[in-house]
Amino acid sequence: MSGRKVTELAQYGKRMSLLLRSLDPLAVAAGADIPDAVTIEGVTLSRSDLLGAATSVAERIAVAERVAILAEPTVRTVLAVVGCLLAGVTVVPVPPDSGAAELTHILTDSGAQAWLGRALEGTDLPVVPVRTHARSWHQYPEPPAETTAFILYTSGTTGPPKGVLLSRGAIAAGLDALADAWSWTSKDILVHGLPLFHVHGLILGLLGPLRVGSPLVHTGKPTPQAYAEAGGTLYFGVPTVWSRIAENPDAARALADARVLVSGSAPLPVPVFERLRELTGHAPIERYGMSETMITLSTRADGERRPGWVGTPVRGVETRLRDETGADVAHDGENIGGLQVRGPMLFDGYLGRADANAASWTDDGWFITGDVAVIDPDGFHRIVGRESVDLIKSGGYRVGAGEVETALLGHAAVAEAAVVGVPDDDLGQRIVAYVVLRADVTETELIDHVAHQLSVHKRPREMRIVDTLPRNAMGKVQKKLLA
């Protein structure tokens, strides 16, 4: 951890109070309950239910250092995560669909000492049960802000997943910055159906409400009907979720009484943005982040929202663009550069990966995101994509895959699009588009459409029609499987 980060966390630790501020045991003891603090699996837990049951979990695992939690959307998962945070035990979330090799790596690399709650088969770790009806009112002191709260495993383009170390102070700083950007208060009701093993669903979607004090309704699966029936004010979704809602006018119109719709984890297609605005009356908030950084950029509840742009730095964050030589890139809304960030919500490095840590930070303390972006003169950011797969160097030009995808999605016949660069003896890289169609159209027509929307050199040289695009659990297209 850098000296700057240590100072930031120390200062933040003095201000953050309890990480899960709404679970203050003094408030519960005084009878100030929240009757619908968390609803999941159709079960509603009050603040006192949640605190009493999670404290009972904490008593059983307080001597542990790290435990694995099968991150299913269940009451047991919520109690397990909260119990660990109360006791100061590090959580290792395990995706329920982990394959054998990935599971072995996560458990071995993290040093998890036990499963807390249900375990996946094929492991030798002991299992500590989570009893949903047990209660305890023991009080634990708040751990230091620099204590590691989570080890989140994130996959790169090569090698096994890396363990991202997220501290309590970083999480608190990140959530408070979002509460500021989104005007998020205890008067909100958050609704989402996202997985609980990523930053979006777990940190923002579970710990956010428990810090802010807003009730959470987890819908299990993020279906249009479930969202429409939830009666929330603040909704989280990935583009796949919002696309399905936009295709269901009745469900979309049911969200008209909401306050804010937030889209993240992948770019929201501009046609979906516009359709949501038409049906719900709300222009969605788009934001940008990573497991390593949490959310660093967002449009604001009280500010401008542009389709295809992820807004400005949240409170406490600084950003900059650099080219391949390390030189500054102009903030003119056109020139593409590698995005670097710094702020109090960034991670403390990769577990046991000195090589990856050295490669991820500049000498002057900026995190190299690996994403490429443009910044306009007003400070608005547009993410072009991953430098490794989304920055295409074709015929001497630098082309962002994202802008080509956006142009393709603007054609009425295109339902989904993914653009990659493939090796080409003449051009260096050839722009190739994979598209899922909703109506018949010729390849030539789509290529010409892009050429008219953008510069001619940005047109795809080849179109490949597919039935589906490979996506991960958060809806991100896995381009390495295409290329």
Instruction: State mean pLDDT over 214-226.
Output: 97
Query: For the residues 445-455, what does the mean pLDDT come to?
Result: 87
Residue 218 CB coordination number (10 Å): 28
Kindly state the tokens that stand for 257.
């009484």
The answer to whether the pTM exceeds 0.75 is yes
**Quick check: helix, strand or coil at residue 372?**
strand
Q: What are phi and psi of 3, to 5 degrees?
A: -60, -35
Quote the mean pLDDT of the chain.
91
Residue 401's pLDDT band (cuts 50, 70, 90): confident
> Which pLDDT value is given to residue 437?
94
Task: Say whether pLDDT at 230 is over 70.
Answer: yes
Residues for the chain: how many in total? 483
The pLDDT value recorded for residue 285 is: 97
Please give the pLDDT value at position 242: 95
Least confident span in 68-72, 253-257, 479-483: 479-483
Q: CB neighbours (10 Å) of residue 337?
A: 23
Helices (H) and strands (E) in the chain, counts: 15, 24
Assess whether pLDDT exceeds 90 at residue 102: no
Query: Which H/E stretch holds residue 134?
Result: none
Spatial CA neighbour of 297 closest among 308, 283, 286, 307: 286
Question: What's the pLDDT score for residue 7?
Answer: 55
Q: State the pLDDT at residue 259.
A: 97
pLDDT over threshold 60, residue 13: no
What's the pLDDT at 5?
Answer: 57
pLDDT computed for residue 213 by the predictor = 95
Maximal CA-CA distance, the chain: 74
Confidence band for 361, pLDDT divided at 50, 70 and 90: very high
How much is the pLDDT for 74? 97
**Mean local confidence (pLDDT), 29-39:** 91
Is residue 2 predicted with pLDDT exceeding 80? Answer: no
Tell me the pLDDT band of 471, cut-offs 50, 70 and 90. confident
pLDDT at 196 over 80: yes
What's the rounded Cα separation, in Å, for the pair 467 and 474? 19
Give me the pLDDT at residue 31, please.
Answer: 84
13 or 89: whose pLDDT is higher?
89
- For residue 212, pLDDT over 70 is answered with yes
Mean pLDDT of 72-89: 97
- Percent of the chain at pLDDT > 90 equals 71
Lowest mean per-residue pLDDT among 1-5, 124-128, 140-144, 420-424: 1-5
* Weakest-pLDDT range from 99-103, 331-335, 361-365: 99-103
Distance CA 456, CA 458 (A): 5
Q: What does the pLDDT read at residue 483? A: 65
End-to-end CA distance of the chain: 36
Q: List pLDDT tens digits, range 150-167.
A: 999 986 555 678 999 999
Residues 6+ apart with CB under 8 A from 416: 409, 435, 436, 468, 469
Closest CA to 383 of 321, 328, 436: 321
Q: Which residue has the tokens 């009080």?
A: 139
Cα–Cα dist 197/106, whole Å: 13
Residue whose C-alpha is closest to residue 246's, from 263, 221, 265: 263
CA distance 31 to 47: 10
Given a contact cutoff of 8 angstroms between Cβ atoms, the answer to whether 268 and 239 are in contact is: yes
SS3 (DSSP) at 409: helix
**Cα gap 323→329, rounded to integer Å:** 6
Q: Is 473 helix (H, G, I), strand (E, B) or coil?
A: coil
pLDDT digits (tens, 9 = 90+) for 252-310: 999 999 999 999 988 888 889 999 999 999 999 999 999 999 999 999 999 999 998 99
Cα–Cα distances in angstroms (integers) from residue 209 to residues 5, 53, 85, 184, 366, in the given order:
25, 18, 15, 9, 30
66 and 110 Cβ atoms separated by less than 8 Å: yes
Residues 6+ apart with CB under 8 A from 309: 286, 299, 380, 381, 382
Nearest Cα to Cα of residue 424 among 452, 444, 445, 395? 395
- Report the pLDDT value the prediction gives residue 122, as an integer from 0 to 100: 81
Q: Could you tell me the domains of the chain?
A: 3-375 (3.40.50.12780), 389-482 (3.30.300.30)
pLDDT score for 263: 96
Distance of CA 115 to the CA centre of its chain: 24
- Can you tell me the distance from the alpha carbon of 289 to that of 367, in angstroms, rounded to the nearest whole number? 12
Question: Band of the pLDDT at 79, cuts 50, 70, 90?
Answer: very high
